[in-house]
Amino acid sequence: MKTLSLMLALSLASAPLGFTAPDDVDRTQPPAAGPLPAVTFPDAVTETLPNGMNVFILPTQKQPMVTFRLLLRSGEICDGTKPGLADLTASLLNKGTAELSAGEFAKKTDFLGIRVEAQAGDDATAITASGLSRDSAEILGFLRDAALHPAFQQGEVDKEKRKMIADLTQKKMEPEDLSERLRDKLLYGQHPYGASPTPETVQTITREDIVQFHEEHFLPNNASLVIVGDVQPEAVLAQVKEAFGTWKQGTVAMNYPIFSTKKGSLFPLIKGISVAVVDRPGSVQSNILVAGRGVAKNNADLPQLGVVNAVLGGGMSGRLFANLREKHGYTYGSYSGFTAKKFGGTFAATAQVRNAVTGAAVGEILAELKRIHTEPVPEKELALQRNYLIGNFLMSVENDERTAQRQQEIDLYGLPADYYKTYAAKLAALTPEKAAELAKQYIDPAHLVIVVVGEAKEIVPQLEKYGKVTVYDADLQPVSGKAAKKGQ
Amino acid sequence: MKLPLLAAFAAAAFLGAMPSLFAEPAPAQAAVKMPVIDFVEYDLPNGLHVILHQNKTAPVVSTYLLYHVGSKNERADRTGFAHFFEHLMFEGSENIQRGQIDKLVSAAGGNLNASTSFDRTDYHFNLPANQLGLALWIESERMLHGKVEEVGVETQRQVVKEERRLGTDNAPYGTLFENLAAAVFAGTPYQWTPIGSAQYIDQASLAEFRDFYHKYYVPNNATLVVAGDFDIEAVKKQIAAYFGPIPRGKEIERPQFELQPQTAPTEKTVALPTTPLPAAVHAWRAPAETADDAPAVELLADILGTGRSSRLHERLVRQEQAASAVDVFPYLLEKGGTLGIFATGNPGTPLEKLDKILDEEIAKVRDHGVSAEELQKVKNNKLRELASSYATMQNRARNLAHYHVMFGDTNALNHQWERYDAVTPEAIQAAAVKYLTPQGANVLHYPVVKPNPSK
């Protein structure tokens, strides 16, 4: 907090003061601005408990709230042969503990306005407990009971499986979800990142699977806890030690294929351009994802790659937005991005466009990928995007929960401790030469999968010129040709 | 499907037993210290209302400019106009070339957006503290001499139609809100939604855009909030310099109507191939946000649907497993509102079953009211909700403008909790009796359409 207020004092001193009288303004151009305030990533109070759990505390007085977020470094990547296992385990954490039934747990937390929610991602499982800071001790207690002592009562397991199957049924009609799951299936192949649960895989999950998953992954040496909000660091640390100090270390089951792959890439080779259409009858808009291989979260180029991506499609001032929206009126928004996970990543450019211009929109996206791959980015354009990302990073420090999550990202992905302290400087150092190099290396317009969710009979003819088209159903199974269908 | 009668019985027994679960004395709770939002406010001579909130915890500043015009100001044959106009405001001005606003703000390290609702259109910028002047310049340019050209209009027509397809026509349940508004707000300018109808966007002429601009985009119809890290006196001068020369517009004529109690229920089925799970919506008319009984309606909605221990979640999702999710949303506007329930059925659940359970639960709350403990629970949740609305300058700015425009009292933001704290169990039941009537119910069904068997 001290570094922050010091920085503010500095920024004030440099604030523009050029407007002393109404007559002074020159309307014909933007006002001159002082220098950007210094970017300071706040320090957290950090401690590692004897059992291996890392604790980060970020006190802030903006509102009388507190959030505890426990992160296990195990997620869907640990599903093994049963996609949905990590998710189901997470969703059962707040459905009953050793002491409270699911109903009682809901009543007691609801009564205090406390939310305890858990979710599994690819690489990690997060359990978040939040509420009014006056209830800090109770919130921590609920978090501990949910994470460490869930009951996994059979009746609740059955209910959650049913709910998960309903959710999967719903997702089959959501264009964005369909396109992202098919992209992952095509780019990650047999790797767990490419799997997504189906009603069938969910049905095979038993209570024993869940109990075992919990035993093998919910361990203090596999966890970090961040506390952000209106708390006294010493007091809350003492509470955390009491709540989690007796949690016993164990051996984390690292059962994902990264450790068993013998050679080469973990992921399938993407050669040339192919087109994958998910047929969604009744669609009046196509959801386009032009995707390729990306980078892992710990790739040192990732921050600067973010600037290159911003030139292409990072926001409203990116090339995709200017081309597909402002020039052609094809879409409400067109963007691109690198999705980085622990062991790999993807790159994708997206747009949602009406059926009639689907082929043309894909053509414009491909042209923009080619342009950034081959032509150097002018310094003026690069500077704009550097400033955009540096300024927005500076502003993100306002969001304490975001800062807290970044602390845990460092822990989860094994990033250098100063990763976010030096983040803005890394962005600022990007030259046009380096940007050209990064674009050449990481945005490859020759090896892509084009995923489109929409009305197949209207859009397939528009897409055939870009590559071989395979049509998939809502279960993401190929339907082109009878043989493919019979082969299921 | 299984034993609905028995299940209904069990539900009644369970709810009857509920108060005993709360019988243990609640632990003594420390008072919650809500942040007090300090601000200064004043009018410029041209009528622009200015609110300044200084906070130096981060080197960030947010501006929020609210024009008191929304879709309810539109003609019935020009729906979607206010929102479309919002898009045009990014085109440029006398001194800002077309397409430059996004670039100027990005290059300054900031971000921006805008939105249009039934009652208002708002524009916001978030910028590093050194760049506040840029936001003031752009907003004053847009208010003084925004520029609308044919080429921009044509492009944005296409863009807005894609926005509509994205959120409404191509999304599962995307037409829900549109159908709901048409039923609940029938006969008023709230009966169409801000996204409007595509055909009218095509019909609107450049002259109409000019008229709309001169009528509504005037300082006397606008509220400007600046929140964050800045010097108050310096910014007052900047605001006077940039906004002072903008001429005052004519007095605004506001739509005059009142949402009368509905006399007959309505029902509609929306059959679409993109509906994944059967869903039922039940919605009623509700008071305006500023009405005395509005807090009771909001807390009633929470008792029905907020949290896993809420009445509808407990019965529909947990006990009977008829639904995979249920949401209860109060949507209270300037001149009236709605309270709606959206229940997504589990695969195979008959819509009639969802209807029946909802009808029973609504009758129960009308006939028997709510317990003191239930009310305390939702008050605690409301306190939590309010306490968590202070984290960003953008939120603070939006809330300050909202209380000024809708309540006519900016400082009401600092007293918002008191309105909820004063609600009694009797007031909740009275709200249920008054608003959740059988004759006032509007039911929407989204069935799952079976694929054509001949295919």
pLDDT tens, position by position, A348-397 = 999 999 999 999 999 999 999 999 999 999 999 999 999 999 999 999 99
- Stretch among A421-425, A473-477, B179-183, B205-209 having the lowest mean pLDDT: B205-209
In the predicted structure, residue B7 carries a pLDDT above the cut 80? no
- Pairwise pLDDT comparison (B254 vs A481), residue with the higher score: B254
Q: Would you say the CATH fold of B258-446 matches that of B40-243?
A: yes
Q: How far is CA B171 from the centre of its chain?
A: 19
Q: Which pLDDT band holds residue A262 (cuts at 50, 70, 90)? A: low
State the SS3 of chain B.
CCCHHHHHHHHHHHHHHHHHHCCCCCCCCCCCCCCCCCCEEEECCCCCEEEEEECCCCCEEEEEEEECCCHHHCCCCCCCHHHHHHHHCCCCECCCCCCHHHHHHHHCCCEEEEEECCCCEEEEEEEEHHHHHHHHHHHHHHHHHECCCHHHHHHHHHHHHHHHHHHHHCCCCCCHHHHHHHHHCCCCCCCCCCCCCHHHHHHCCHHHHHHHHHHHCCHHHEEEEEEECCCHHHHHHHHHHHHCCCCCCCCCCCCCCCCCCCCCCEEEECCECCCCCCEEEEEEEECCCCCCCHHHHHHHHHHHHCCCCCHHHHHHHHHCCCEEEEEEEEEECCCCEEEEEEEEECCCCCHHHHHHHHHHHHHHHHHHCCCHHHHHHHHHHHHHHHHCCCCCHHHHHHHHHHHHHHHCCHHHHHHHHHHHHCCCHHHHHHHHHHHCCCCCCEEEEECECCCCCCC
The model's pLDDT over B364-387, given as tens digits with 9 standing for 90+, comes to 999 999 999 999 999 999 999 999
- SS3 of A316, please? coil
In the predicted model, what is the mean pLDDT of residues B25-49? 84
In the predicted structure, residue B4 carries a pLDDT above the cut 50? no
**Any residues with CB less than 8 A from the CB of B415 and at least 6 apart, and which?**
none
In the predicted structure, residue B272 carries a pLDDT above the cut 70? yes
CA-CA distances (angstroms) from residue B359 to B17, B310, B431, B441? 21, 16, 16, 10
Residue of chain A with shortest Cα separation from B55: A62
In the predicted model, what is the mean pLDDT of residues A317-340? 96
The residue type at B189: P
Residue A332 lies in a domain: yes
Helices (H) and strands (E) counted in chain B, each on its own, are: 16, 11
Packing angle of the helix pair A207-217, A154-171 (nearest 10 deg)? 90
In the predicted structure, residue A254 carries a pLDDT above the cut 90? no
Cβ–Cβ < 8 Å for B259, B285: yes
Give me the count of residues in chain A: 488
In the predicted model, what is the mean pLDDT of residues B329-350? 97
Q: Which pLDDT band holds residue A267 (cuts at 50, 70, 90)? A: confident
A84 touches chain B (CB under 8 A): no
Measured CA to CA, the distance from residue A349 to residue A116 in angstroms comes to 35
Q: Which pLDDT band holds residue A264 (cuts at 50, 70, 90)? A: low
In the predicted structure, residue A400 carries a pLDDT above the cut 60? yes
Put simply, the chain A residues between 182 and 201 with a CB less than 8 A from any chain B CB are none
> Which structure tokens are listed for A434?
């380096």
The residue type at B301: A
Measured CA to CA, the distance from residue A389 to residue A110 in angstroms comes to 39
- SS3 of A223, please? strand
Q: How many CB pairs under 8 A join A and B?
A: 282
Asked if residue A339 and residue A232 are part of one domain, the reply reads: no
Residue A17 lies in a domain: no
Q: Which of A17, A159, A391 lies at the smallest CB-CB distance from B110?
A: A391
User: Of all residues in chain A, what percent carry a pLDDT higher than 70?
Assistant: 91
In the predicted model, what is the mean pLDDT of residues A320-343? 96
User: How many CA within 13 A on the CB side of residue B246?
Assistant: 29
In the predicted structure, residue A483 carries a pLDDT above the cut 90? no
Task: Specify the pLDDT at position A452.
Answer: 98
In the predicted model, what is the mean pLDDT of residues B165-185? 95
Task: Specify the pLDDT at position B305.
Answer: 97
Q: What is the CATH number of the domain that holds A294?
A: 3.30.830.10
In the predicted model, what is the mean pLDDT of residues B154-175? 93
Measured CA to CA, the distance from residue A248 to residue A219 in angstroms comes to 7
Residue A40 lies in a domain: no
User: Which residues of chain B neighbour A380 with C-beta distances below 8 Å?
Assistant: none
Residue of chain B with shortest Cα separation from A10: B59
> Which structure tokens are listed for A163?
């709910």
- Kindly determine whether residue A30 and residue B391, on different chains, have CB atoms separated by under 8 Å: no
Terminal CA-CA length for chain A: 59
CATH for the stretch B40-243: 3.30.830.10
Residue A385 lies in a domain: yes
User: Of all residues in chain B, what percent carry a pLDDT higher than 90?
Assistant: 86
Q: Which pLDDT band holds residue A261 (cuts at 50, 70, 90)? A: low
Task: Specify the pLDDT at position B198.
Answer: 84
The residue type at A358: T
Asked if residue A398 and residue A254 are part of one domain, the reply reads: no
Q: Which pLDDT band holds residue A263 (cuts at 50, 70, 90)? A: low
Residue in B382, B351, B209, B379 with CA at minimum distance from that of residue B277: B351
Residue A225 lies in a domain: yes
Sign (positive/negative) of CA torsion B446, B450, B452, B455? Answer: positive
Measured CA to CA, the distance from residue A138 to residue B315 in angstroms comes to 27
Strands (E), A315-399: 331-340, 345-354
B380 touches chain A (CB under 8 A): yes
Q: How far is A254 from chain B (nearest CA, A)?
A: 33
Backbone angles phi, psi at B414, to 5 degrees: -80, 0
The model's pLDDT over B213-270, given as tens digits with 9 standing for 90+, comes to 999 999 999 999 999 999 999 999 999 999 999 999 999 999 999 999 999 999 999 9
- SS3 of A136, please? helix
Asked if residue A195 and residue A310 are part of one domain, the reply reads: no
User: Of all residues in chain A, what percent carry a pLDDT higher than 90?
Assistant: 86
Task: Specify the pLDDT at position A242.
Answer: 96
Residue A4 lies in a domain: no
Measured CA to CA, the distance from residue B236 to residue B233 in angstroms comes to 5
Measured CA to CA, the distance from residue A407 to residue A421 in angstroms comes to 11
B22 touches chain A (CB under 8 A): yes
In the predicted model, what is the mean pLDDT of residues B190-209? 91
Give me the count of residues in chain B: 455
Backbone angles phi, psi at A350, to 5 degrees: -130, 155
Backbone angles phi, psi at A150, to 5 degrees: -70, 145
In the predicted structure, residue A17 carries a pLDDT above the cut 70? no
Number of domains in chain A: 2
Q: Which of A228, A259, A290 is the last residue in one of the domains?
A: A259
Residue of chain B with shortest Cα separation from A163: B324
Residue in A238, A224, A217 with CA at minimum distance from that of residue A68: A224
Instruction: Spell out a b/e string for B1-32, using b for 16 or more CB atoms within 10 Å of the CB, else e.
Output: eeeeeebbeebeeebeebeeebeeeeeeeeeb
The model's pLDDT over B56-65, given as tens digits with 9 standing for 90+, comes to 999 999 999 9
- Kindly determine whether residue A329 and residue B159, on different chains, have CB atoms separated by under 8 Å: yes
- SS3 of A189, please? coil
Task: Specify the pLDDT at position B343.
Answer: 98
Q: Which pLDDT band holds residue A294 (cuts at 50, 70, 90)? A: very high
Asked if residue A80 and residue A145 are part of one domain, the reply reads: yes
The model's pLDDT over A26-79, given as tens digits with 9 standing for 90+, comes to 999 999 999 999 878 888 999 999 999 999 999 999 999 999 999 999 999 999
Put simply, the chain A residues between 198 and 227 with a CB less than 8 A from any chain B CB are none
CA dihedral A341, A345, A346, A352 (to 10 degrees): 0
Put simply, the chain A residues between 426 and 485 with a CB less than 8 A from any chain B CB are none
Among B48, B144, B156, B238, most A C-beta atoms within 10 A, so best to mutate, is B238
Q: How far is B383 from chain A (nearest CA, A)?
A: 8
Residue A315 lies in a domain: yes
Residue A281 lies in a domain: yes
- SS3 of A150, please? strand
The residues spanned by each domain of chain B are: 40-243, 258-446
Task: Specify the pLDDT at position B201.
Answer: 85
The model's pLDDT over B122-139, given as tens digits with 9 standing for 90+, comes to 999 999 999 999 999 999
Task: Specify the pLDDT at position A268.
Answer: 86
Q: What ipTM was estimated for this complex? A: 0.89
Measured CA to CA, the distance from residue A35 to residue A208 in angstroms comes to 60
Asked if residue A98 and residue A153 are part of one domain, the reply reads: yes
Measured CA to CA, the distance from residue A134 to residue A227 in angstroms comes to 14
Put simply, the chain A residues between 371 and 400 with a CB less than 8 A from any chain B CB are 383-385, 387-388, 390-392, 394-395, 397-400
- For A82, the domain range is 45-259
Look at the domain B258-446 and name its fold: Cytochrome Bc1 Complex; Chain A, domain 1 (3.30.830)
Q: Which of A113, A132, A282 lies at the smallest CB-CB distance from B274?
A: A282
Asked if residue A205 and residue A166 are part of one domain, the reply reads: yes
Mean pLDDT across chain A: 91
Asked if residue A191 and residue A290 are part of one domain, the reply reads: no
Residue of chain B with shortest Cα separation from A401: B391
CA dihedral A57, A61, A66, A70 (to 10 degrees): -20
Say how many C-beta atoms besides its own lie within 10 A of residue A139's C-beta.
Answer: 26
